[in-house]
Amino acid sequence: MRTQVGIVGAGPAGLLLAHLLHLAGIESVVLETRSRAYVEERIRAGLLEQGSVDVLTESGLGARLQREGLAHDGLELRFGGAGHRIDLKGLTGKQVTIYGQQEVVKDLIAARLAYGGPLRFEVADVAVHDLETDAPRITYTEGGEARVLECDLIAGCDGFHGICRPAIPPGVLTAYDRVYPFAWLGILAAAPPASHELIYARHERGFALATMRSPTLSRLYLQCAPEEDIAAWSDDRIWAELHARLARRDGADQVTEGPILQKGITAMRSYVVEPMRHGRLFLAGDAAHIVPPTGAKGMNLAIADIRVLARAIEGFCQGHGSDLLDGYSAKALARIWKAQRFSWWMTSMLHRFDGGDPFEHKVQVAELDYICASRAGAMTLAENYVGLPLD
């Protein structure tokens, strides 16, 4: 088989790239090792910046998003038992929207299949070759048969554990990595959300986050140790800890309990590789960078990468030269590092670090006090949270 762009990975990055290229009249083939059911059902990030909503809507993917997404005008910072609302829309004129990553993936897959774009699930033995030539290849196995996909360009959208980044020769990439000394224990519960907006809570026992997936599904998180055994966390223990960390000084309890449908532990790290290109291979999304989830930037960064990469590929395939492709990595990284800074800042401000250093605790509280009392401080948080400009 031959195509203009071979795309490895059917997550939000790979599928959105294929969709944007289709709109520009550019052929692509998407390869995914997992099943369609797996990629449509795995629970991941659920908050879209205003710019991400705009990209999806402008590309014809906004119907269900506009109908089912939960638009939020603000968020709450809770510390010392009191809540402080940050008016995102009042400060920036923008909103954020709760709409699960799996829902974005479902919309993208439905669109891809509707126009007949090649989308291969459950392929195996995927490998990329001849990256430094004008004719890169992807080899893979489908239904027990070895296949070759000849391309003009390859997009590595296969996530942090994918095959594309490791295929780049040693010494080409520089990796920047930070692993945090804590993790998140997350649950999905059949219970009404604690609030109609997100609550970010700093507590002496550790961080907690109350968010949602729908008016009847709550998504809640607790800071825990990275080596924590999920089996040691009974439902009763989880609810007791959520009640404690999200407690209000006035005694009001917003946490509504319900059956826990899913639970798991998520490691926390910051990771970036530079450059995001080697020859005719271009990395995007989690294949190139990871952010701690505190700033809600993971899926949004992938969408921002793809917006830049799709325009660069369009220019190249339409005969306008390689200048945009050559500038892809630097342009994407400029925004990625700003999002990394914001995610690191939010994480450092809200989590309890090992040892419970009293000085660090006082500094964190002072930082939160400043943000909530200063319009300039609140603006800094708000304009980063709703998303910096895409251009």
Written out in words, the top-level CATH class of the domain with range 180-268+352-385 is alpha beta
User: Would you state the pLDDT for residue 391?
Assistant: 79
pTM as predicted: 0.95
**By the 8 A CB rule, do 136 and 40 touch?**
no
Say whether 72 is catalytic: yes
Q: From CA 163, how far away is CA 188, in angstroms rounded?
A: 30
Options 200, 203, 289, 328, the catalytic residue: 200
The domain limits of the chain are 5-73+95-177+269-346, 180-268+352-385
Options 99, 140, 328, 385, the catalytic residue: 385
Options 19, 72, 278, 331, the catalytic residue: 72
Listing DSSP states for 351-376 in one string gives SPPTT--HHHHHHHHHHHHHHHH-HH
User: Would you state the pLDDT for residue 390?
Assistant: 87
Q: From CA 81, how far away is CA 84, in angstroms rounded?
A: 10
- 197-226 confidence digits (pLDDT tens): 999 999 999 999 999 999 999 999 999 999
Say whether 169 is catalytic: no
User: Would you state the pLDDT for residue 360?
Assistant: 87
Say whether 293 is catalytic: yes
Q: What percent of the chain has pLDDT over 70?
A: 100
Helices (H) and strands (E) in the chain, counts: 11, 20
User: Would you state the pLDDT for residue 45?
Assistant: 73
User: Would you state the pLDDT for residue 86?
Assistant: 98
Indicate left, alpha or beta for 329 from its phi (over 0: left) and psi (-120 to 50: alpha): alpha
HSE-up of residue 352 (Cα within 13 Å, Cβ side): 18
Confidence label for 233 from pLDDT (cuts 50, 70 and 90): very high
Residues 291-299: what's their mean pLDDT?
95
Confidence label for 265 from pLDDT (cuts 50, 70 and 90): very high
User: Would you state the pLDDT for residue 116?
Assistant: 95
CATH 3.40.50.1580 fits 5-73+95-177+269-346, yes or no: no
Options 140, 180, 293, 351, the catalytic residue: 293
pLDDT tops 90 at residue 253 = no
Mean pLDDT of the chain: 96
pLDDT tops 80 at residue 43 = no
User: Would you state the pLDDT for residue 92?
Assistant: 98
Q: Chain centroid to CA 104: how far?
A: 12
Looking up tokens 């993971």 gives 298
Confidence label for 251 from pLDDT (cuts 50, 70 and 90): confident
pLDDT tops 80 at residue 231 = yes
- 327-370 confidence digits (pLDDT tens): 999 999 999 999 999 999 999 999 998 776 888 889 999 999 99
Say whether 22 is catalytic: no
User: Would you state the pLDDT for residue 238?
Assistant: 98
User: Would you state the pLDDT for residue 20?
Assistant: 98
Looking up tokens 């926390």 gives 268
For residue 170, say if its preceding peptide bond is cis, omega within 30 degrees of 0: no
Give whole-number Cα distances, 256 to 134, 202, 209, in Å. 58, 19, 14
- 87-108 confidence digits (pLDDT tens): 999 999 999 999 999 999 999 9
Say whether 297 is catalytic: yes
Degrees, nearest 5: CA angle 159-175-221? 55
